Amino acid sequence: MTAALHVRGVLLPDEDERDLWVVDGRLTFEPVAGADTVAAGGWIVPGLVDAHCHIGLGPGGPVHAPDELHAHARADTAAGALLVRDAGSPADTHFLDGEPDVPRILRCGRHIARPKRYSPHTAVEIDTHELAATVTAEAARGGGGWVKLIGDWIDRAEGDLTPLWPADALRSAVAAAHAAGARVAVHTFSEEALPDLIDARFDSIEHGTGLTEDLVARLAASGAALVPTLVNLGNFPGIAEAARAKFPVYAARMTRLPGTAPARVRAAYEAGAPRPPWPPGRGPPAAGSATPGSRRAPRPTSSSTPAIPGPTSACSARPSASCCGDGSWREHHRREAESGGGGLVRC
């Protein structure tokens, strides 16, 4: 047990002046004798949760140098995030767990994709029949309680986004992740991929820009959390323009999606679709539970409440090299599109 801490100040968002104690990383309103008072005035704000970042992906591709990985993580800390979910990275960042100046990291491990259906040197590339076994292996290897699939990506033969996996393979993958005690996230931009992803009972839908009005209720009923990364939409017009000469259908889609996504995200929220943050423990939510996510985080009670989870910053705190909103990403995707890579945001 670590030494208890005591703070007093105006607790947001309720604006009540309160005393709080921190015991083993958890907040409580119950007084703790002998606690060290570290603040006796000011505002008390929960740490932000960056629900979608990529520590180890830079504008030029994967990053493995320890000092660069440390800088990625510190950028989140500087923005006020104390808990981050790394939504896919080829880098091993476990060495950061003991560093005092970085957030707590929940890891999804490496992205899982079909051959040549994601950015080079980033994902574990497999055939469909290997998906369930690969999900099980990644859940064991990563140790972060999550795995990450690519649900759609540009198909260069079609010249547009298409789903990567058939419906039965998706269902088997989710079942394999849950059997391994992990949750499973999936990247998707397109409208076509979402029905099968929702029906497969993924724990989180990343981006979800193709959400349509008729899918909102299905998403809410599925229990999947929507992580919209709306800051990323600002990149879409430039990506579309870079791809227009080689992939005009794809470019037209990427131009259209920013105009429809915000309203659909609002509709999903109003329909009760869960949103992050999730409890930091491993494993899928129990059947019938209110997690992952909730419409509003509960107030602390007299029993201990986690100190870290708070307002969610889904890749929107302060854009860094590991975040979808960074200007350097736009340059990377412009180069990728012009070289025939499709220019899709690597997230």
What is residue 323's predicted lDDT score, i.e. its pLDDT?
47
Whether residue 303 lies inside any domain: the answer is: yes
168 and 127 fall within a common domain: yes
Q: Choose the weakest-confidence range: 37-41, 214-218, 325-329, 343-347.
A: 343-347
Could you report the per-residue pLDDT of 231-281, keeping only the tens digit for each? 999 999 999 999 999 999 999 999 999 999 999 999 999 999 987 755 433
What is the predicted pLDDT for the residue at 259? 95
Q: Are residues 171 and 295 in the same domain?
A: yes
Same domain (yes/no): 9, 76: no
Q: Which amino acid is at 330?
A: R
Distances (CA, A) of 327 to 232, 238, 243, 321, 323: 10, 11, 17, 9, 10
- Say how far apart CA 258 and CA 228 lie, in whole Å: 11
Task: Examine the domain organization and report whether 276 and 155 are in the same domain.
Answer: yes
**Which alpha helices (DSSP H) does the chain contain, by range?**
66-78, 131-142, 167-179, 194-199, 213-222, 236-243, 248-270, 327-338
Whether pLDDT at 306 is above 80: no
Are 35 and 174 within one domain?
Answer: no
Which residue has 């767990």 as its token pair? 97
Asked if residue 193 has pLDDT above 80, the reply is: yes
Is residue 216 within 8 A of residue 264, CB to CB? The reply is yes
Q: By the 8 A CB rule, do 186 and 206 touch?
A: yes
pLDDT at 77: 93
Residue 109 φ/ψ region, left for φ over 0, alpha for ψ in the -120 to 50 degree band, beta for the rest: left
Q: Is residue 347 part of a domain?
A: no
> Where residue 1 falls among pLDDT bands split at 50, 70, 90?
low
- DSSP per-residue string spanning 78-104: HTTEEEEEE---SS--GGGGG-TTS-E
Task: Give the whole-angstrom CA distance, residue 80 versus residue 314.
Answer: 13
Least Cα distance to 150 among 178, 184, 180 occurs for 184
Is 90 exceeded by the pLDDT of residue 316?
A: no
Residue 32 shares a structural domain with residue 62: no
Residues 207 and 64 in one domain: yes
pLDDT band at 180 (very low <50, low <70, confident <90, very high): very high
Residue 273 in domain: yes
Say how many domains are in the chain: 2
In a domain, 344, yes or no: no
Q: What is the dihedral of CA 149, 137, 76, 305, to 10 degrees?
A: 100
Contacts of 150 (CB under 8 A, 6+ apart): 111, 112, 113, 114, 117, 118, 123, 164, 186, 187
Return left, alpha or beta for 42; rule: phi > 0 is left, psi -120 to 50 is alpha, else beta: left
Q: Are residues 142 and 279 in the same domain?
A: yes
- Say whether both 146 and 122 belong to one domain: yes
Q: Specify if 346 maps to a domain.
A: no
CATH of residue 205: 3.20.20.140
More confident of the two residues 2 and 171: 171
Q: Is the domain of 221 the same as that of 295?
A: yes
- Average pLDDT rounded to a whole number, residues 320-341: 46
3-state secondary structure of 139: helix
Which residue range is the domain that position 76 belongs to? 49-338
Same domain membership, residue 20 and residue 155: no
Residues facing residue 112 across a β-bridge? 124, 149
DSSP secondary structure code for residue 272 in this structure: T
Question: Residue 36 falls within a domain, yes or no?
Answer: yes
Cβ-based neighbour number of residue 107 at 10 Å: 26
Is residue 251 in a domain?
yes
* pLDDT value at residue 324: 54
- The 10s digit of each residue's pLDDT in 115-155 is 999 999 999 999 999 999 999 999 998 668 999 999 999 99
Query: Could you tell me if 212 and 225 lie in one domain?
Result: yes
Kindly report each contact of residues 29-37 with a partner whose C-beta sits within 8 Å and lies 24 or more positions away, as own/partner: 29/300, 29/301, 29/302, 30/302, 32/4, 32/6, 34/4, 35/3, 35/4, 35/5, 35/6, 36/3, 36/4, 36/5, 36/6, 37/5, 37/6, 37/7, 37/8
Average pLDDT score over residue span 89-114: 94
CA-CA distance, 68 to 75, in Å (whole number)? 11
